[in-house]
Each structure stands twice: as structure tokens, then as C-alpha cells.
Amino acid sequence: MSLDLLDPQPAAAEGLRPRALDVAVVGATGAVGAELLACLERRNFPVGRLRLLASPRSAGQTLSFRGAPVTVEVLDQDSFQGVDLALFSAGASVSRAYAPLALAAGAWVVDNSSAFRADEAVPLVVPEVNGHRLGDQAGRLVANPNCVAAIASVALAPLHARRLVVRIIGATYQAASGAGAAAMAELQEATAAAVAGQDYPPQVMAHPYAFNLFSHDAAVDPESGYNGEELKVMAELRRLLAAPDLPASFTCIRVPVLRAHAMALTVRFAEPVSVEEARAWLAEAPGVRLVDDRAANHFPMPNEASGADEVLVGRIRTDLSDPSGRSLSLFVAGDQLLKGAALNAVQIAEALVRSGAI
């Protein structure tokens, strides 16, 4: 299969797909679901029939696609008849239960959950980073990575291609959107309540969210002390960078930001690398926007990353704690709902369409 994976152009614009596809979005009413619809629409993905699927709570609701209302249906075992492509974003348990049914019905599945990400038989893909993996799998299932891993990999891959990354230490500043639409609403409501001097007992998050930050809500492994998010990020970065033994350590923190994740990365390479080299490689890298203005003290920020397709990379500096000159520190921000989730899923689907797989 020949894949043109670095082509940033949407699939339909390439004119390679004569047939409109039957597309299902599982979790269409969620925060990622809304962005999946927006990405399919604005990138002119060749959607013919669109099926919007969610829980019984949302049955009968309508969502807009290309200016027309589409009714949300309840996800069930018959939802995938005739579907060419199913985009799943309703959590791991829904994916585990229903992705096999979609595959059995003949659909391609791009899964946004963590259900299949650790399965070596399932490609875990960020098209700019390891899109070649799409050509070598046996099945029709592709896993979309964890949002931090996806965003970090876009920043790291252009460097890793020139100087092997041999160690990563990261600290994240993660937005509410990673915990879903209800968490985003809680951040807004809790902030409004705090400004008004009212109490707001946390409902979705475990801790007060207004004017606060806290360790990521994933369960903590009692032995290592790492939480589930940190372990996922480390494992998935190793897969994305094709570096199975890469030493990595992350601290994942939830911050009161709505939808873009930021992260500080300190990266050691096998050989020395200069700031100028790193800047030049990142400036021309697909999916990256260099935001690295020392004079203006202007570096990646969540508000500038929100709504952007690119991952913002800056604060590129030599790590002074490593006198060998082999380490750099970077600051990165990316839209959790876009490159961290929906956009990457749609880009995977576009690559599959361009290759003729779907």
C-alpha cells in the first residue's frame, strides 16, 4: 500500500475518493465528538451518510453537519451495518464492546480510547510521526494515541529523526477537555461560582477546579507512584517514536484551562544538538508551529493553541544541567481536542482514504 502520509491536505481536496463514505461517529455528543464533526466538515472529508451514535441519554437530539440537522441514535449492535468508517470516542469500555462489532460489519475503526493502544497488533498512529505504520497492519483497526503522547510526539519526532532521543522528562499542564464535556462545564461553573464568592462542591473532578491545579485524576499505581495517565504517556511515546526502551518520566497535572494541553519537556539525545539546529528542524516540521520569541517572551500558550491544528513548540534552550550539550528543554502546547484527539483521528482516516485502504 502506498501512503502519502505527510500530505497536510484533506483527503477530498486531493480528489482521490470518488465514493462518499458511510461514516459513524460513536460518542458524537461528547467534547471530542463535536470536534470530530467539525473536522470532518471543515476538511471536506468525503462523508456520504453520517450516523451519530451516543447513549440513550442523547437519543433524538439533533446535531448539525454541513448545515443540516442529523439525529443522534442510540449505539447498539446493529449500528454499523453498511458503515465504511467508524470513529470511536465514547471511552474504553464502549470501544471494547462495540469496535469488534464495527469491524465484523466490515468498517474501518479509528479508536480514540485507550482500549487498544497497548496492543502491538494495532497500529498507534500520528500521521506526521509514524504514518507508515498504517500500511503494515493486518486488520482494520487503528488506535489514536493519548492526547499528551500525540502532542509531544509531534514536537519530538523532527528532533528524534536527526538525533536519537535517549531520555525524556516531562511535566504536563492538562486542560479540562481531556476529562470530557462535563469537566469543561465544571471548570466554567466552578470559576463563575468562585468569582461570585459562592461554594462549588466538585462533581466531575475529585478536587476544586477553580483557581487550583491537581495531580491528574487517573488512578495511581501504588507501587510506582505514577498515575495511569503518566504510564500511558510514557508507554505510548515509546511506541510512537519506535523506541521501546526509551527511559521516560512524566508528571501529569490538571490545570484550569479549557481545551489545550501544555507540557515542559527535557530531552536528552544520543549526540549534541544546538538550539539553532532544533529550531530549524522544528520550523519545517509538519504539524508544528514554532513559537519561540525570546525578545518578546512569547512562547507556546494554551489560549493560542486552542482551536489550532498545529502543535506550538518553543522555549527551546540547552539544558544547563547536562554539560554534555546533548539535552534540550522545550515548552509545547497543543489543542487536546484537535491534534490530541479529533483532528488526529480524521487525519488517520484521510491517510487511509488517500492510500485506497478505505
For residue 267, which phi and psi values (nearest 5 degrees)? -125, 130
Which of 39, 216, 252, 261 is an active site residue? Answer: 261
Does 144 sit near ligand A2P (CB under 6 A)? no
Does 33 sit near ligand A2P (CB under 6 A)? yes
Which of 147, 160, 216, 252 is an active site residue? Answer: 147
Buried b (16+ CB within 10 A) or exposed e, 172-200: bbbbbbbbbbebbebbebbbeebeeeeeb
Does 256 sit near ligand A2P (CB under 6 A)? no
Does 99 sit near ligand A2P (CB under 6 A)? no
**147 a catalytic residue:** yes
Contact (Cβ atoms closer than 8 angstroms) between residue 30 and residue 180: yes
Residue selected from 4, 38, 55, 167 as contacting ligand A2P according to rule CB under 6 A: 55
Total interface residues for ligand A2P by CB under 6 A: 17
Does 340 sit near ligand A2P (CB under 6 A)? no
Does 90 sit near ligand A2P (CB under 6 A)? yes
d(CA 192, CA 215): 22
**252 a catalytic residue:** no
Does 57 sit near ligand A2P (CB under 6 A)? yes
Does 12 sit near ligand A2P (CB under 6 A)? no
Nearest-10 crossing angle of helices 228-240, 147-160? 30
Contact (Cβ atoms closer than 8 angstroms) between residue 96 and residue 115: yes
Does 54 sit near ligand A2P (CB under 6 A)? yes
Alpha helices per DSSP H over 219-274:
228-240
What's 28's DSSP letter? T
Looking only at the bridges linking them, the beta strands covering 85-88 and 68-74 are unpaired
Shortest CB 61 distance to ligand A2P, Å: 8
Residue selected from 39, 94, 252, 348 as contacting ligand A2P according to rule CB under 6 A: 94
Contact (Cβ atoms closer than 8 angstroms) between residue 336 and residue 259: yes
Q: Nearer Cβ to ligand A2P, position 168 or 179? A: 179
Triad 229, 202, 223: Cα angle to 5°: 30
Does 215 sit near ligand A2P (CB under 6 A)? no
Chain positions contacting ligand A2P, by CB under 6 A: 27-31, 33, 54-55, 57-58, 75, 90-91, 94, 180-182
Q: Which residues are catalytic?
A: 147, 261
